[in-house]
Amino acid sequence: PLSANNESRGALVVFEGLDRSGKTSQCGRLVSYLEGLGHSVELWRFPDRTTSVGQMISAYLTNKSQLDDHTIHLLFSANRWEKRSMMETKLKAGTTLIVDRYSYSGVAFSTAKGLDFEWCKAPEIGLIAPDLVVYLDITPEKAAERGGYGGERYEQLEFQRKVAQHYKLLKDSSWKIVDACQPLDDVEKQVKEIVSQHIIACQKGKILSSLWS
Ligand code: DGP
Ligand code: NA
Ligand code: NA
Confidence class for position 198, pLDDT limits 50, 70, 90: confident
Give the C-alpha separation, 48 to 58, whole Å. 9
The continuous run of DSSP H or E covering 179 comes out as strand 175-179
pLDDT for position 12: 97
Closest ligand (CA of 109): 1
User: Between these two residues, 150 and 103, which has the higher pLDDT value?
Assistant: 103
| Per-residue model confidence as pLDDT tens digits over 38-79 | 999 999 999 999 999 999 999 999 999 999 999 999 999 999
Q: Can you tell me which atom of ligand 1 is nearest the CA of 154?
A: 10
Q: C-alpha distances in angstroms, 8 versus 40, 74, 202?
A: 12, 33, 7
Section 21-33 average pLDDT: 97
pLDDT for position 7: 61
| Per-residue model confidence as pLDDT tens digits over 128-185 | 999 999 999 999 999 999 877 888 999 999 999 999 999 999 999 999 999 999 999 9
Assembly ipTM: 0.94
Q: For ligand 1, which residues put their CB under 6 angstroms from it? A: 19, 46-47, 61, 73, 76, 100-101, 105-106, 109-110, 152, 154
Task: Determine what percent of the chain is predicted with pLDDT higher than 90.
Answer: 88
Answer for the pair 73, 98: CB distance below 8 angstroms, yes or no.
no
- Asked if the peptide bond before residue 212 counts as cis, ω within 30 degrees of 0, the response is yes
What are the residues whose beta carbons fall under 8 Å from the beta carbon of 76, sequence distance 6 or more?
46, 47, 57, 105, 106, 110
Answer for the pair 75, 61: CB distance below 8 angstroms, yes or no.
no
Give the C-alpha separation, 33 to 39, whole Å. 9
Ligand 2: distance of its center to the CA of 154 in Å? 8
Q: What is the DSSP letter of 177?
A: E
The continuous run of DSSP H or E covering 111 comes out as helix 103-112
Ligand 2: distance of its center to the CA of 177 in Å? 20
Amino acid at 84: R
Tell me the torsion sign for CA atoms 94, 129, 135, 206.
Answer: negative
Ligand 2: distance of its center to the CA of 138 in Å? 14
Give the C-alpha separation, 117 to 148, whole Å. 29
Q: Can you tell me which atom of ligand 1 is nearest the CA of 72?
A: 21
Task: Determine what percent of the chain is predicted with pLDDT higher than 70.
Answer: 97
Question: Rg of the chain over CA atoms, in angstroms?
Answer: 17
Q: Inform me whether the pLDDT recorded for 193 exceeds 50.
A: yes
Q: Can you tell me which atom of ligand 1 is nearest the CA of 49?
A: 2
Section 186-203 average pLDDT: 91
pLDDT for position 6: 47
Residue closest by Cα to atom 14 of ligand 1: 105
